[in-house]
Amino acid sequence: MKSINEQLFSIINGEPVGNSFPYEKGCGEEIEDYIKKLLFKLNESEQLECDGEFGHYGSGYASFI
């Protein structure tokens, strides 16, 4: 397990951080695929409407309505 300083440096360098699937391998494609599947499952609900904007991660900003 990385120390908090190592994790912060990884985040600053744009690298994935986490100890569980899909983050533990650090594979960006696997992480994005997981998030897309999660978004699809959330959209199956009649009570939620989710919209993912993939390929644009620059600001780190997320909004919730």
Q: What is the pLDDT of residues 4-59, one digit of tens each?
A: 999 899 888 888 888 888 888 888 889 889 988 998 999 898 888 887 777 766 55
pLDDT-derived band of residue 2, with 50, 70 and 90 as boundaries? confident
In this prediction, residue 4 carries a pLDDT of 92
d(Cα 27, Cα 45) in Å, to the nearest integer?
A: 28
d(Cα 3, Cα 51) in Å, to the nearest integer?
A: 34
Mean pLDDT, residues 56-63 taken together: 59
Prediction pTM value = 0.64
